[in-house]
Amino acid sequence: MTLRLPFLAGALAAALSLNLQAAEENVLNLYSARHYQTDEKLYENFSKQTGIKINRIEGKEEELLERIKNEGANSPADVLLTVDASRLALAHELGLFAPVKSKVLESRIPANLRTDDWFSFSTRARVIVYNKSAVKAEDVQNYDDLANPKLKGQVCTRSGSHPYNLSLMASIIANQGEAKAEAWAKGVVANFARAPKGGDTDQIKAVAAGECGVTVSNTYYVARLLRSDKAEDKKVMEKVGVVWPNQKTSGTHINVSGAGMLKNAPHKAAAVKFLEYLASDEAQRYFADGNNEWPVVASVKVGNPALESLGKFKADALPVGSLAMYRAKAQILFDRANYR
According to the model, what pLDDT value does residue 118 have? 96
* φ/ψ of residue 93, rounded to 5: -65, -30
Q: Are strands 27-32 and 53-58 parallel, antiparallel or unpaired?
A: parallel
Tell me: pLDDT of 311 over 70. yes
Tell me: pLDDT of 282 over 60. yes
According to the model, what pLDDT value does residue 7 have? 47
The pLDDT-based confidence of 323 (bands split at 50, 70, 90) is confident
Helix axes 40-50, 281-291, angle to 10 degrees: 160
Sign of CA dihedral 106, 296, 200, 156: positive
According to the model, what pLDDT value does residue 301 have? 86
Of 3-7, 68-72, 74-78, 258-262, where does mean pLDDT reach its minimum? 3-7
Tell me: pLDDT of 10 over 60. no
Tell me: pLDDT of 3 over 50. yes
Mean pLDDT to the nearest integer, 236-243: 98
Mean pLDDT to the nearest integer, 229-251: 98
According to the model, what pLDDT value does residue 286 have? 86
Count the alpha carbons within 13 Å of 257 in the hemisphere toward its beta carbon. Answer: 27
The pLDDT-based confidence of 8 (bands split at 50, 70, 90) is very low
Termini Cα distance of the chain: 38
Tell me: pLDDT of 126 over 90. yes
Task: Please give the angle made by the CA atoms of 278, 284 and 285, to the nearest 5 degrees.
Answer: 140
d(CA 83, CA 5): 19
Domains in the chain, start-ordered, CATH in brackets?
Answer: 2-122+257-302 (3.40.190.10), 124-253+315-336 (3.40.190.10)
pLDDT in tens, 158-210: 999 998 999 999 999 999 999 999 999 999 999 999 999 999 999 999 999 99
d(CA 1, CA 77): 14
* φ/ψ of residue 294, rounded to 5: -90, 140
According to the model, what pLDDT value does residue 222 have? 97
d(CA 221, CA 235): 15
Tell me: pLDDT of 54 over 90. yes
CA distances from residue 227 to 107, 146, 330 in whole angstroms, order as listed:
33, 27, 33
